Amino acid sequence: MDFVKSIGSSVAQKLDSFQGSELEKKVKDATSNENWGTSSTLKNEIADATHDYQSFREIMGILWKRIGEKDSNWRIVFKSLDLLMFLLKCGHERVVDEIRDHQFALRALQSFSYIDPTNGQDKFVGNKQKRTSFPCPSSLSPSKKKKRE
């Protein structure tokens, strides 16, 4: 039964990746459930697109949706946090405000975990490390962002 659910879930994710604008497809590709990292070229393209207000809204909307994924899609959440960290460093200054406005979504990840039923291993260990390195939203300001660069 789990096998059927996993196939259904992967098919739904593949169909979702074909929908939306070109930019939405890039963000979905960068935060896919595939077992490899996102290319820096793709991350840079997405970061450059944050300088356009409409594109920024598209990117952040998809990111927040994907950060809120269920436990079994832990890889999507992991990659979404990774992209969010990259946008914080290389994207537009509005990313700082956006993180501050959505800090509740990041706080919810403090208790996020996914134990692989086949081997009992916690697959979200990397995200726990990423969470601790994520800057506190209240300490973020555009001037501090400039200093980090």
> What's the pLDDT tens digit per position in 80-92?
999 999 999 999 9
* This model's pTM is above 0.75: no
Q: Please count the helices (runs of H) and the strands (runs of E) in the chain.
A: 9, 0
pLDDT single digits (tens) 47-102: 999 999 999 999 999 999 999 888 778 889 889 999 999 999 999 999 999 999 99
| Complete domains list, the chain, with CATH | 2-148 (1.25.40.90)
Question: Are the beta carbons of 20 and 59 closer than 8 angstroms?
Answer: no
In Å, what is the CA distance from 110 to each residue of 37, 40, 54, 58, 118?
22, 27, 30, 26, 24
